[in-house]
């Protein structure tokens, strides 16, 4: 092919991680849900590996940020753990060790010229708030989150120019309340899921309101996992199914974040089914007036959707599956390790959607990546993993993104998941995603072939495809 793929000046090249998945639990003031889940049920995690040490970013942040610089990063996202920054969750009194740690990370990134994007919530609510108040089901917890955000803004607001309130907030109702693959691991709690969805939107808007009121020198956004829902056919039933899936799983956060209101079509369905959230006019005003400055989009795979053949199964208790069903698209190309479809064109479709329907708000890819099991088998004699499959994966996705930018999309960066292999509640360290591998025994870091490749992409602001 040999086409030159180019990106705009000052394009962000980097990756994302999160506090709970990389830092380890050293010297934390409180326990988050993942820490608690592992402590009480370690058998749920691949090879019994938990977040206790993780990638030990807590002790390795200098070395790690140095490595990121070495592979061409000009930007990097991580998150502040609520459970590390705040000692007294009720009053918002901070923990001095927590403050020191994040100050050190911020200073080091600054020294290296890496723009830090700081996120405030990566599925890591302190477990105490779940046990005492029901977590995100509670509006009191919404206000406690805003107290935590205030401390973060006061302490770090002069140095951090890009904040995000939540990472993939939809995962909390979806995986925690509907399908049982994230703590608290409920299944089929449709009504609660809807309230959690609303409360997190409210928390995000209240946090944005606070940020704006503090006149800090930066911007604030949100990170959403946007999963295009492609219908099986053009039949009315399949199209309705894909609209519902889009409303529920994408637009329930995208619309309030960017437009300040929920999709009317979604509200109608929830009202009709008697599961609409509890809200007040005052809260709706807050959501309306506090939209984001920019958007981060995490994309891994699409949804393939068809009409639900057995809606009656899902009526009581309420479940969104009443309106759609996922199916295996016969043409799907699968990642054999993670079981997710690889469909790079979706990046183009997402970009067009933002351009056409969301005012072309500035946005960046905040996560995109390929998890692979057993990468050691691709090691060369120097111990560097030859992950050509990952380079291919990134090239294909970037090519579609570049096309969208050529056609006017306001995308300003590309962050992968992830920089250094990190822990996850689904996989522990089974599927590796990083540009840099980690030996869990020795904590030794090694740059993979994709890391060296990314350095060139960042230097040239593009590549030959």
For ligand BG6, the closer CB: 156 or 425: 425
DSSP state of 376: G
Active site residue ranges: 168, 367
Give the whole-angstrom CA distance, residue 143 versus residue 43: 34
CB of 192 to ligand BG6, least distance (A): 21
Q: What is the enclosing helix (H) or strand (E) of 73?
A: none
CB of 295 to ligand BG6, least distance (A): 15
We find the least distance from the C-beta atom of residue 252 to ligand BG6, in angstroms, to be 16
- Say which residue the tokens 């999963």 belong to: 227
CA 131 to chain centre: 24
Three-state secondary structure string covering 180-244: CCCCCCCECCHHHHHHHHHHHHHHHHHHHHHHHHCCCCCEEEEEEECCCEEECCCCHHHHHHHHH
Q: Least separation, in Å, of the C-beta of 272 and ligand BG6?
A: 31
Say how far apart CA 273 and CA 259 lie, in whole Å.
25
Is-contact 401 35, C-beta < 8 A? no
Beta strands in 75-130 (DSSP E): 75-79, 86-88, 93-94, 115-119
Residue 36 vs 323, nearer CB to ligand BG6: 36
> Is 21 or 319 the residue whose CB approaches ligand BG6 more closely?
21
Write out the residues near ligand BG6 by the rule CB under 6 A.
18, 21, 167-168, 225, 298, 338, 367, 371, 417, 424, 426-427, 431
- Token digits of residue 340: 């997710």
Which residues fall within 8 angstroms of residue 71, CB to CB, at 6 or more apart? 435, 436, 447, 451, 452, 454, 455, 458
**Residue of 118, 114, 217, 119 lying closest to 168 (CA atoms):** 119
Q: How far is the CB of 426 from ligand BG6 (least distance, A)?
A: 3
Comparison of 160 and 223: residue with beta carbon closer to ligand BG6: 223
**H or E segment at 19?**
helix 19-22
| DSSP designation for 179 | B
Tell the smallest beta-carbon distance from residue 300 to ligand BG6 (Å): 6
Q: Is the CB of 339 or the CB of 408 nearer to ligand BG6?
A: 339
Q: Pick between residue 25 and residue 431 the one whose CB is nearest to ligand BG6.
A: 431
Q: What are phi and psi of 414, to 5 degrees?
A: -140, 110
């Amino acid at each position: 092919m040999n086409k030159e793929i180019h990106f705009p000046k000052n394009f962000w090249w980097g990756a994302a991680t999160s506090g709970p998945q990389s830092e380890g639990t050293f010297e934390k003031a409180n326990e988050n849900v993942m820490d608690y889940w592992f402590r009480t049920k370690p058998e749920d995690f691949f090879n019994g590996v938990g977040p206790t040490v993780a990638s030990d970013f807590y002790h390795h942040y200098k070395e790690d940020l140095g490595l990121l610089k070495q592979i061409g990063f000009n930007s990097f996202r991580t998150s502040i753990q609520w459970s590390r920054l705040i000692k007294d969750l009720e009053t918002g009194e901070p923990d001095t060790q927590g403050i020191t740690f994040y100050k050190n990370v911020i200073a080091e990134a600054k020294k290296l010229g890496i723009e830090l994007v700081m996120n405030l919530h990566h599925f890591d609510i302190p477990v105490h708030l779940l046990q005492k108040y029901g977590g995100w089901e509670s509006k009191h917890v919404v206000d406690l989150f805003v107290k935590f955000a205030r401390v973060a803004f006061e302490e770090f607001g002069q140095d951090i120019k890009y904040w995000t309130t939540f990472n993939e907030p939809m995962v909390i109702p979806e995986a925690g309340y509907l399908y049982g693959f994230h703590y608290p691991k409920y299944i089929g709690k449709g009504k609660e899921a809807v309230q959690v969805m609303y409360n997190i939107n409210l928390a995000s808007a209240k946090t944005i309101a606070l940020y704006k009121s503090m006149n800090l020198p930066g911007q604030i956004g949100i990170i959403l996992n946007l999963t295009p829902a492609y219908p099986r056919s053009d039949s009315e039933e399949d199209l309705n199914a894909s609209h519902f899936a889009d409303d529920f799983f994408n637009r329930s956060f995208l619309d309030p974040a960017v437009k300040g209101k929920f999709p009317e079509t979604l509200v109608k369905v929830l009202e009709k089914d008697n599961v609409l959230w509890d809200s007040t006019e005052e809260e709706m005003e807050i959501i309306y007036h506090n939209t984001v400055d920019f958007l981060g989009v995490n994309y891994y795979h699409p949804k393939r959707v068809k009409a639900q053949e057995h809606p009656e199964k899902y009526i009581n208790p309420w479940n969104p599956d009443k309106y759609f069903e996922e199916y295996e698209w016969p043409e799907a190309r699968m990642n054999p390790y993670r079981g997710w479809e690889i469909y790079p064109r979706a990046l183009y479709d997402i970009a067009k959607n933002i351009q056409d329907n969301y005012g072309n708000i500035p946005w960046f890819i905040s996560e995109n990546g390929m998890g692979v099991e057993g990468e050691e088998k691709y090691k060369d004699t120097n111990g560097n993993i030859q992950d050509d499959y990952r380079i291919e994966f990134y090239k294909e996705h970037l090519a579609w993104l570049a096309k969208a930018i050529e056609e006017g999309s306001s995308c300003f960066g590309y962050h992968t998941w992830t920089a250094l292999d990190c822990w996850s509640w689904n996989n522990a360290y089974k599927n590796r995603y990083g540009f840099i591998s980690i030996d869990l025994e020795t904590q030794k870091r090694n740059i993979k072939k994709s890391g060296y490749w990314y350095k060139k992409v960042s230097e040239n602001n593009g590549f030959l495809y």
